[in-house]
């Protein structure tokens, strides 16, 4: 090219880049945004110059037609790992050492398609008209000073009144705090007394519960003992009833035996009277004389036995009567205990 410097010509020959008139040989920067991840930060593409970027973009358009170039320094690439695919693509082998990409952590300088820096023209501000200083007014200054003095005096009075009110308020607040302190102290003492009473009541309740439990156990044992004694008494009463029945049977048997003996004696007496009445009369008289004193005649009931004496000299069997020893109804153990 006509305006090519020796240094730029040497760099072009070393890198094998064809220089075209109008291209800037400085580094060219651009952003690469992923279309599938619009919210992700873009990558920064760094090229050896703008001409290399133009060659790289023509290859991208041919190999990846879904990609687009929004501006001179903004590319939109389709796919997550398109940068790695481009580096591994053999079509880009000639440009492998002329470009690279990095995460977008910085700000790139503004450049156009040819790689020339873009500068902003400063806006001209309208000239401000200078105001001429006004003449010094002594009367206005005096008036302003008077007003300031009045304001200072008024502020001083307000500050003094505020200070007095603040002092009174602080004193009142101190009195309220002292009163609250006394009330809180009294409340704490009352709470401590209440806690002591609660503890004492709890101890008494525990002691009462233990005593009640012991009394209940004692009552239970007494009831069990009473039930055992009642059962034993009932068994004894049943045994006594059986014994009485046995005695009654024995008395009945004894009465029958006495009756038979009397009958035998009557038979013996009649036989003896037939053999010799004189001997019998003498024997009977002697037997009667031996009885001293003679038995009395009692026509009344003594201990359940009825006694009768026949005036005839011949002994006669006494009437038998069943003796009931249990004339009164049996008493239960509870009735005996209540009496």
166, two tokens: 């603040």
Q: Which of 67, 155, 56, 132 is CA-nearest to residue 99?
A: 56
3-51 tens-digit pLDDT: 444 334 334 433 433 444 578 888 899 988 877 666 777 888 889 899 9
262, two tokens: 């009397």
Q: Which of 48, 44, 37 is CA-nearest to residue 12?
A: 48
Q: Which residue has better confidence, 245 or 3? A: 245
Mean pLDDT of the chain, nearest integer: 76
| Helix pair angle (138-275, 277-290), 10° resolution | 140
Q: Which residue has better confidence, 212 or 271? A: 212
Residue 49 to residue 8: CA distance in whole angstroms: 11
On whether the CB atoms of residues 130 and 64 are closer than 8 A, the answer is no
Residue 68: predicted pLDDT: 87
Q: Which of 135, 27, 43 is CA-nearest to residue 83?
A: 43
**pLDDT band for position 268 (cuts 50, 70, 90):** confident
- List the single range of 55-59, 86-90, 184-188 with lowest mean pLDDT: 86-90
135, two tokens: 């003449």
* 3-class DSSP assignment, residue 159: helix
Residue 177 to residue 185: CA distance in whole angstroms: 12
Residues whose CB is less than 8 angstroms from the CB of residue 24 and which lie 6 or more positions away in sequence, other chains included: 49, 50, 111, 114, 115, 116
Q: Span 48-59, mean pLDDT?
A: 91
Residue 34 to residue 78: CA distance in whole angstroms: 6
On whether the CB atoms of residues 17 and 98 are closer than 8 A, the answer is yes
Q: Span 216-232, mean pLDDT?
A: 92
Residues whose CB is less than 8 angstroms from the CB of residue 56 and which lie 6 or more positions away in sequence, other chains included: 47, 92, 95, 98, 99
Q: Cite the DSSP H helix spans in the chain.
A: 6-15, 50-63, 82-88, 138-275, 277-290, 333-338
Q: Cite the DSSP H helix spans in 126-137.
A: none
Residue 321: predicted pLDDT: 52
On whether the CB atoms of residues 31 and 74 are closer than 8 A, the answer is yes
Tracing tokens 């200070």 back to the chain, one arrives at 163
* 3-class DSSP assignment, residue 296: coil
63-102 tens-digit pLDDT: 888 888 888 888 888 776 777 788 888 888 888 888 888 8
Instruction: Give the count of alpha carbons within 13 A of 107, CB side only.
Output: 2
On whether the CB atoms of residues 25 and 49 are closer than 8 A, the answer is yes
Q: Span 309-338, mean pLDDT?
A: 52
Q: Which residue has better confidence, 19 or 158? A: 158
Residue 1: predicted pLDDT: 37
Percent of the chain residues topping a pLDDT of 90? 22
């Amino acid at each position: 090219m006509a305006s090519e410097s020796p240094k730029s010509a040497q760099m072009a020959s070393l890198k094998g880049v064809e220089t075209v008139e109008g291209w800037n040989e400085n580094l060219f920067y651009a952003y690469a945004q992923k279309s599938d991840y619009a919210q992700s930060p873009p990558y920064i593409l760094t090229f050896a110059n703008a001409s290399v970027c133009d060659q790289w973009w023509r290859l991208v358009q041919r190999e990846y037609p879904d990609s687009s170039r929004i501006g001179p320094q903004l590319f939109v690439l389709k796919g997550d790992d398109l940068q790695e695919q481009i580096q591994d693509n053999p079509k880009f082998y000639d440009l492998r050492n002329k470009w690279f990409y990095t995460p977008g952590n910085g700000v790139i300088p503004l450049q156009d398609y040819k790689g020339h820096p873009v500068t902003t023209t400063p806006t001209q501000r309208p000239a401000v008209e200078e105001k001429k200083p006004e003449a010094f007014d002594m009367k206005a200054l005096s008036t302003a000073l008077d007003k300031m003095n009045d304001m200072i005096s008024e502020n001083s009075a307000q500050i003094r009144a505020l200070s007095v009110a603040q002092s009174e308020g602080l004193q009142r607040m101190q009195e309220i705090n002292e009163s609250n302190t006394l009330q809180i102290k009294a409340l704490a003492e009352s709470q401590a007394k209440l806690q002591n009473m609660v503890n004492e009541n709890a101890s008494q309740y525990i002691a009462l519960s233990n005593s009640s439990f012991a009394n209940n156990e004692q009552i239970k044992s007494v009831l069990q003992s009473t039930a055992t004694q009642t059962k034993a008494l009932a068994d004894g009463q049943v045994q006594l009833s059986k014994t009485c029945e046995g005695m009654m049977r024995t008395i009945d048997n004894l009465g029958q035996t006495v009756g038979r003996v009397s009958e035998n004696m009557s038979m013996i007496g009649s036989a003896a009277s037939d053999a010799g009445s004189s001997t019998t009369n003498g024997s009977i008289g002697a037997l009667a004389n031996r009885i001293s004193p003679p038995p009395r005649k009692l026509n009344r009931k003594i201990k359940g036995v009825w006694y009768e004496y026949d005036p005839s000299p011949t002994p006669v069997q006494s009437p038998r009567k069943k003796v009931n020893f249990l004339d009164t109804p049996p008493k239960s153990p509870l009735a005996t205990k209540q009496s």
